[in-house]
Amino acid sequence: MHRRSLVSFVLGLVLAVPAFGLGVGDQAPPLNGVTWLQGEEITEFQEGQIYVLDFWATWCGPCIQSIPHLNDLQRRYADDGVNIVGVAVWPRPGMVPTRSFLTRRKDSGKALEYRVAEDSRAGAIVNSYLNPARVTGIPTAMVIDGTGRIVFIDHPMNGLDRVLELLVSGQFSLDTYLEEKAARDRALAQSRVLRQEFQEAYEADNVSRQLEITKELLGLSPELFGSVAGLHYYLLLERNAEPELARRFAERMLAEELSDQAIHLSSFAFQIATSDSIADENRDLEIAGRMASRAVELTKGSDANVLDTLARVQFESGEFEAAVETQRRAVELAPGGDFRDALLENLREFESASGG
Which residues 6+ apart lie within 8 Å of 327 measured at CB?
Answer: 307, 308, 311, 343, 346, 347, 350
Q: What is the reported pLDDT for 336? A: 65
Query: Region 61-86: what's the mean pLDDT?
Result: 93
Q: Do 347 and 328 meet the contact criterion of CB atoms below 8 Å apart?
A: yes
User: Domain 34-178 in CATH: superfamily?
Assistant: Glutaredoxin (3.40.30.10)
Q: What is the reported pLDDT for 356? A: 65
Q: Do 52 and 71 meet the contact criterion of CB atoms below 8 Å apart?
A: no
| Alpha-carbon gap, residue 102 to 100, rounded angstroms | 5
Average pLDDT for the chain: 91
* Whether residue 232 has pLDDT greater than 50: yes
Element (H, E) at 56: strand 50-56
Query: 227: which DSSP letter?
Result: G
Q: Any idea where the domains of the chain sit in the sequence?
A: 34-178, 191-354
Query: Region 81-102: what's the mean pLDDT?
Result: 97
Q: Which of 220, 239, 217, 219 is nearest to 228 (CA)?
A: 217
- Which sign, positive or negative, has the C-alpha torsion 153, 156, 159, 164? positive
Q: What percent of the chain has pLDDT over 90?
A: 80
**pLDDT one-digit tens code per residue, 249-296:** 999 999 999 999 999 999 999 999 999 999 999 999 999 999 999 999
* Whether residue 220 has pLDDT greater than 50: yes
The larger pLDDT score, comparing residue 181 to residue 352, is at 352
pTM for this model (two decimals):
0.66
Query: What is the gyration radius of the CA atoms in the chain, in angstroms?
Result: 22
Candidate from 17-26, 48-57, 116-125, 307-316 with smallest mean pLDDT? 17-26
Query: Region 55-74: what's the mean pLDDT?
Result: 93
**pLDDT one-digit tens code per residue, 161-213:** 989 999 999 999 999 988 887 888 899 899 999 999 999 999 999 999 999 99
The larger pLDDT score, comparing residue 303 to residue 320, is at 320
**What angle in degrees, to the nearest 10, is found between the helix axes of 262-274 and 304-316?**
30
Which ranges constitute the DSSP H helices of 85-234?
Answer: 98-107, 124-125, 160-169, 174-203, 207-220, 222-225, 229-234
**pLDDT one-digit tens code per residue, 108-164:** 888 999 999 999 988 999 999 999 999 999 999 999 999 999 999 999 987 899 899
Residue 228 banded pLDDT, cuts 50, 70, 90: very high
| Alpha-carbon gap, residue 332 to 335, rounded angstroms | 8
Query: Region 228-252: what's the mean pLDDT?
Result: 97
User: Domain 191-354 in CATH: superfamily?
Assistant: Tetratricopeptide repeat domain (1.25.40.10)
